[in-house]
Copies of this chain bind each other. A is one copy, B any other.
């Protein structure tokens, strides 16, 4: 081991001070979904696994990478670029990802140790009832139009559009959701410091500003074929249903739909001309039991059927606010976006009595716009304003 490497290793050791940093450090020395590691962490916790790796570092496949652990660098990039780490147990952790722990269903991949995230969205809330839209990078104008239109239409009804940020169908889906001022999550196969592919940098910037950029890989990591495939399982697990727009057979999108199937998510596909190779993937899925969808209404029927909770706003998330009554708007506008105020302070700020203010705060909480912290202070819930 060279001296600089040893030093980096020592730094990492020093920086691992809790379960969270241990999970980050473990993510730095393993590939996404490493099953053996996932099982060890599930049994003993990440800190203990980290310690034992460190003690016997020459003897495991992870230990051999300990020398290059760049945890301090990762923490520094996270700080600079406002990247957070979401792990099981966090409020933002989407519980549906726990389905990836059930080995009997999903084979060889473990639940992510955690996810790096950037952007204003609340991951757990946004992922709930979300739609993955996936497809080929080499799309046709037909597929691109459908992807963008469907994404815009479902996003306008409050459904989060999840995709992989790739060229073609993926980026059209993200753009569609953004154009409707809706929610979108890009799950990347690269670290969030350098979202891949670079050509979509502009969309990634918009998503970072309005949506969520997400990755199982620490900042600094680059994409690889296995990482794309691992990423697909996160897309499939996050979303309530996965929709294939255009894809050739044996494609990444097909891999995502296979994950969706294993995870008992809804599997949908948009048909196209049988003369188009780009529609062969969807057609194969449809022959294999996926549901044919040709409109946003048909998608919503499946992922948010009548009677189940659907978000009430017709034109993007900010419209919840538009539908508030005057008194609710007064109180809503008095609730801070960060930090927190006591009900008394809010009542004073909005000029209403305390009793009314408390009642309205309860209503705002119920429709997901405000939340109370353990100290009784209120603030807007992240993602409440588009």
Contact = CB atoms under 8 A, between A and B. Distances in A.
Interface residues of A, number: 19
A295 B286 CA distance: 14
Interface in A242-296: 270-275, 279-280, 283, 286-287, 291-292, 294-295
A149 to B, nearest CB: 9
A283 B294 contact: yes
A142 B275 contact: yes
Contacts of A273: 142, 271-273
Contact of A292 (B142, B146, B286, B298): B286
Contacts of A280: 294
A291 B287 CA distance: 7
Contacts of A274: 146, 270-272, 294-295
A145 B275 CA distance: 10
A10 B292 CA distance: 60
A288 to B, nearest CB: 10
Contacts of A292: 271, 283, 286-287, 292
Contacts of A272: 271-274
A217 B67 CA distance: 88
A146 B273 CA distance: 10
Interface string A292-323: 10110010000000000000000000000000
Contacts of A286: 271, 286, 292
Contacts of A287: 291-292, 298
Nearest to A146: B274
Contacts of A275: 142, 145-146
Given A274-B294, A280-B294, 9 more contacts: A142-B273, A146-B274, A272-B272, A272-B274, A274-B295, A286-B286, A286-B292, A287-B291, A292-B292
23 contacts: A142-B275, A145-B275, A146-B275, A270-B274, A271-B271, A271-B272, A271-B273, A271-B279, A271-B283, A271-B286, A271-B292, A272-B272, A272-B273, A273-B273, A274-B294, A274-B295, A280-B294, A283-B292, A286-B292, A287-B291, A287-B292, A287-B298, A292-B292
